[in-house]
Amino acid sequence: MNDQTVSTMSAMKALLRRDLMIALRERGDMLQPVLFFIIVVSLFPLSVTPDKTLLMQAGPGIIWVAALLATLLALDGIFRPDHEDGTLEQLVLSPHPLSLLVLAKTLAHWLVTGLPLILISPLLGVLMQLSGDAIIVLSCALILGTPALSLIGAVGVGLTVGIRKSGVLLSLVILPLYVPVLIFGAGAVQATMVTLDPQPHLLLLASFSLFSLAVCPLASATALKISVN
């Protein structure tokens, strides 16, 4: 590796470490998406019916919609605090590729938001009366799909970071792009429940996440340059 590559990797590690430390200091903000995820899924059996068959049929979709909304709730934390304190301008002017710095910040967001959702999902799967196989597939689908939620969300935040009270606009930009993840993720669990092979859905989900990994950091970097300038 040349010196520039080593320097860029060091900058990414430092940025990732910084964002994780900030998240740990502000634990209230970190817990909000997780609590939202738990509350939304838990309220469904209480508000509709505890019928096992209905919960099994609706469970995968409910869990995925709750995960999607919980991720959306925490998206502003990717860039907005840096925009408010001037750090974002320094990142844009940095000699390192902005897309890689964006990737590091998006990874931090996924570790703080997406990973806890994955860890808590088996318990919510039990609450929704899912079988053991369905819970395993649900966890695999969330592992494959939640990175795409963070990556796509970073693009939306990059486009709206310079706009005050951009919550509604961010939702309008991001939610349509989340639909494939929702369809493939819930479809994988539904396929398992009717004794079909979930692998096609999981492969499509993985492909969408890999496509997002290739495209979204570059798109986010471009959006940030436009927003900052």
Residue 199 pLDDT > 80, yes or no?
yes
Segment 69-96 mean pLDDT: 85
51 or 87, higher pLDDT: 87
Question: Which amino acid, residue 150?
Answer: S
Reading the block at residue 142, the tokens are 């969330």
Rounded Cα gap, residues 72 and 196, in angstroms: 31
Q: Which of 84-88, 96-100, 189-193 has the lowest mean pLDDT?
A: 84-88
pTM as predicted = 0.90
Q: Which residue matches tokens 């990737």?
A: 103
pLDDT band at 123 (very low <50, low <70, confident <90, very high): very high
Say if CB 162 and CB 227 are below 8 A apart: yes
| Helix, coil or strand: residue 83 | helix
Q: Chain-wide mean pLDDT for the chain? A: 87
Residue 73 pLDDT > 90, yes or no?
no
Segment 69-91 mean pLDDT: 85
Task: Give residue 207's pLDDT.
Answer: 95
Rg, Å, the chain Cα set: 18
Rounded Cα gap, residues 49 and 164, in angstroms: 40
94 or 63, higher pLDDT: 63
Task: Give residue 144's pLDDT.
Answer: 95
Segment 68-86 mean pLDDT: 85
